[in-house]
Amino acid sequence: MLPVRDRIGAFLTRLLDGPSEVRAAAGFSLNVPEYQIGTPRWLDMNIQTYRQAYATGTAVYRCIGARAQAVSSAPVRVYRDEGGDPTELPDHPLRQLMTAPNPMMSEAEFLVMTQTLMDATGFCAIEKVRARAGNVTQLWHLRSDWLQEIKRDQRASDWKFVVPGRVPVIIPAQDIIIIPGGPSTDLGTTGMSPIAVALREVGIDQGLTDFLKLFIEAGGTPRYALVTDQRVRTQEEAEEIRGKFGYTYGGFQNWTKTVLLHGGLDYKVIGSNIEEFAYPQLRALTETHICSVFGVPPIIAGLQAGLDASTYSNYEQARKAFFEDTVQALWARLDGALTRGLLAEFSDDRRISLEFDTSQVKALQEDATALWQRATSALSSGGITLNQFQSLLGLPGFETAGDVLYLSIATQPTRPDDLSLLADQTAEPPQPVPASLPAGSDSGDTATSENTAPLGDGADQTKGMSHVGLELRTVPLETRARIGKANRRQIAKLGLTFTPRLRAMFRKQGEIVAAALQRRSADGHYKPLEASEGLVSRALEASDFDALEALTLRELTALYHAAGEAAFTAAALQLETEIGWDLSNPAIRQTLAQLARRVVEINATTREGIADVVTRGLDDGLTTQQIADNLRGLFTETYRGRALTIARTESQVSYNLATADAYKASGVVMAMQCLDNPDHTDDYGAADGLSCAERNGIITDVDAVDIHIFSEHPNGTLAVSPLVVRPLGAE
């Protein structure tokens, strides 16, 4: 018996040598002229071939259908850009047109047909039907194979629409939208269908199907044969032998019987079966190649290559990848074509755009549980605002009230610029102090820290203070808390305002230092690689350091004045009395002198930083340019965080000192209370020997609060409020 390969070859030879009508039955892939027999014959690249491949190829049909259905899952929306925020225009005329492109189609049907024509014929042509006024009222698809391009000089091509049996119609360029199926290297208007790339695989796939059908119809042979040495003279004898064998061993009831052959009988296999051709593996290979060209996972197309490894999780992953890698690109292409071809018909406003709304496409949506966890974590850590949290979950926002960050009380937030104004506007205003409370009205007010003694009425609450004998009252605990909260917000506002200014100042200082270092090296004052005594001090002249200190003094002086004015304004409202920020006030001038000494300390730290960078650069053998670049990096990157710390610290110190000065200037406040972070218990070596938690609630005379203010942690949240007051008008 011939091997399987030889039997297949013999079968094909008989097939091709047979009558023409038999060869035609094998399909267009085998119906070839005689001079081409023996050589591969591939399909021609034209619209008719594409349409035939779409109509007869299962893999091609499923891939095109999957792409078209995916594209139609997202409707086309019209948006207007409102300050960077797109606003949907549901009543825009273009949106109304897309809802019902023509009387025969819905929007989804229109998109399905558009994508199908792009893939199955190489391009899609859409005619714009206009009303008498010239406005577009309908959109209709045109058959690609009935269109002929009429090229024009210096303008878009017109098109001739030739319907068989009718007079050709010329369609102007402005009345037709041509959407290519895919990019083409010939730079043609119509582009190229994905089928063109997969034509070889399409031909093989169709050839396999045609061959299988013809094999079943005309090429099958008996599977088994009974061979006998006896001469069979009549048909009746043959039927008798065959019948006896079938009766004895045929049927599923007899399949376990052992065959006993006698009388010269022998049993042989002479036919072929489909498994011997490895047909499933070959078809799966061609299907995989076709799917690859279309960018459709085989499991999505429902083809054998995908079903072999089909699980629910595999399908979900494949569908997500299909939409992200293939469908989104198709949306972008259609978006661009419809924007060019339609949007200008309705509006010339550049702020209006046309986009596919993918918000309801399930494959592109994040798992609900994972989305909730991610959004909640971001909200609780202060990474997003409340409105952004609502938007992530698809819920309505809270308008301006939702533009806030949730941060712990120990954290001083750096708010976005668009939130800082809102935070300032909604900050609690300074609370007036009820200075004329009746005795015993605050009986529930006791100390909240072991460092704070309980306060009674009259002289008991002034023990050890300079105002013994005066008629005094205690500010209620709730009022003190509100005042402390408002003061803390004012301090945070100052820090936010001056952080960018200090960062800009440090960047400018970095340029001054780097330029001075390069200038000194160019003048021959020292060699970059020579480390000698006093080199760092000679690297910059006194005038250079004076320039740095002048910048620091200017910015921090502005901060101190802003803090003083804000503190006095708040204190006047709290105490309901008239006090103003006046530089002629000796107490204010003394405070500014104290703050000026802090500028000297900041500049000294800057000098040390410069010296450290230069010294390390010389030790590492760096060039002058490299050291200069490191100095720029010191001020731009390293000092970025330092600017924030300085802004917070100096805002806290200057505002609280100014508040104490305001309370003293009012003549009303006799004692104050410090409100600090009760959760910060670390000992960081403060000058007053206290941690933030120990400082929280401590009571002090207005003349002795400075030590606690200067001792606050660099990132602390200290605020002060009035505790013991003299009633207004009392002597």
CA-angle at 673, arms to 415 and 556, nearest 5°: 45
Helices 199-214 and 47-56 pack at an angle, to 10 degrees, of: 50
| Segment among 146-150, 218-222, 319-323, 652-656 with least mean pLDDT | 218-222
Do 388 and 506 share a domain, yes or no?
Answer: no
Do 640 and 511 share a domain, yes or no?
Answer: yes
Do 588 and 711 share a domain, yes or no?
Answer: yes
Give the H or E element holding residue 722: strand 719-725
Do 390 and 471 share a domain, yes or no?
Answer: no
CA-to-CA distance for 209 and 287, rounded, in angstroms? Answer: 12
pTM across the whole model: 0.45
Do 465 and 402 share a domain, yes or no?
Answer: no
pLDDT at residue 107, as a whole number: 93
* Torsion-angle region of 41 (φ positive above 0: left; ψ -120 to 50: alpha; else: beta): beta
Show which of 376, 406, 436 is a domain's final residue.
406
pLDDT at residue 386, as a whole number: 82
Asked whether the predicted pLDDT for residue 622 surpasses 50, the reply is yes
Q: What is the domain count for the chain?
A: 2
Q: In what order do the strands lie in the sheet with 85-88?
A: 85-88, 76-82, 352-356
In a domain, 710, yes or no: yes
| Segment among 43-52, 557-566, 567-576 with least mean pLDDT | 43-52
pLDDT at residue 246, as a whole number: 76
pLDDT at residue 232, as a whole number: 75
Token pair in block for residue 679: 């959760």
Do 400 and 466 share a domain, yes or no?
Answer: no
| Segment among 48-52, 105-109, 136-140, 427-431 with least mean pLDDT | 427-431
In a domain, 516, yes or no: yes
Show the domain range for 401.
Answer: 366-406
Sequence-distant (6+) residues with CB within 8 A of 501 are 555, 558
Please state the rounded mean pLDDT for residues 565-587.
Answer: 83
Do 471 and 384 share a domain, yes or no?
Answer: no
pLDDT tens-digit series, residues 685-699: 888 888 898 898 888
pLDDT at residue 578, as a whole number: 82
Q: Are the beta carbons of 385 and 403 closer than 8 angstroms?
A: yes
Query: Beta 265-269 vs 224-228: how paired, if at all?
Result: antiparallel
pLDDT at residue 645, as a whole number: 84
CA-to-CA distance for 300 and 279, rounded, in angstroms? Answer: 22
Do 537 and 401 share a domain, yes or no?
Answer: no
In a domain, 47, yes or no: no
Amino acid at 467: H
pLDDT at residue 239, as a whole number: 82
More confident residue, 584 or 450: 584
Rank 182-186, 469-473, 515-519 by mean pLDDT and report only the highest: 182-186
CA-to-CA distance for 543 and 357, rounded, in angstroms? Answer: 62
In a domain, 239, yes or no: no
pLDDT tens-digit series, residues 128-157: 999 988 899 999 999 998 999 999 888 889
- List, as one string, the DSSP characters of 457-506: SGGGGGTTSTTTTS--EEPPHHHHHHHHHHHHHHHHHHHHHHHHHHHHHH
More confident residue, 171 or 621: 171
Do 585 and 699 share a domain, yes or no?
Answer: yes
Token pair in block for residue 115: 């994508």
Rank 106-115, 210-219, 548-557, 670-679 by mean pLDDT and report only the highest: 106-115
Sequence-distant (6+) residues with CB within 8 A of 154 are none
Percent of the chain past pLDDT 90, that is, above it, reads 13
More confident residue, 127 or 35: 127
Do 475 and 620 share a domain, yes or no?
Answer: yes
For 605, the 3-state DSSP assignment is: helix
Give the H or E element holding residue 329: helix 328-338
Percent of the chain past pLDDT 70, that is, above it, reads 71
Class of residue 665 by CB neighbours under 10 A (exposed 0-12, middle 13-18, buried 19+): buried
Q: Are the beta carbons of 353 and 79 closer than 8 angstroms?
A: yes
If you search the block for the tokens 């001038």, which residue do you land on? Answer: 589
CA-to-CA distance for 493 and 488, rounded, in angstroms? Answer: 9
CA-to-CA distance for 642 and 620, rounded, in angstroms? Answer: 25
What's the whole-number average pLDDT of the chain?
A: 75
Rank 210-219, 233-242, 409-418, 422-431 by mean pLDDT and report only the highest: 233-242
Q: Are the beta carbons of 594 and 653 closer than 8 angstroms?
A: no
Q: Are the beta carbons of 555 and 595 closer than 8 angstroms?
A: no
Asked whether the predicted pLDDT for residue 281 surpasses 50, the reply is yes
pLDDT at residue 268, as a whole number: 67
Amino acid at 288: T
Give the H or E element holding residue 81: strand 76-82
In a domain, 393, yes or no: yes
CA-to-CA distance for 160 and 162, rounded, in angstroms? Answer: 6
Do 690 and 579 share a domain, yes or no?
Answer: yes
CA-to-CA distance for 168 and 165, rounded, in angstroms? Answer: 9
Do 464 and 402 share a domain, yes or no?
Answer: no
In a domain, 100, yes or no: no
CA atoms within 13 A on the CB side of 578: 0
Asked whether the predicted pLDDT for residue 224 surpasses 90, the reply is no
In a domain, 81, yes or no: no
In a domain, 115, yes or no: no
pLDDT at residue 318, as a whole number: 86
Asked whether the predicted pLDDT for residue 191 surpasses 70, the reply is yes
If you search the block for the tokens 């596919």, which residue do you land on? Answer: 356
Asked whether the predicted pLDDT for residue 254 surpasses 60, the reply is yes
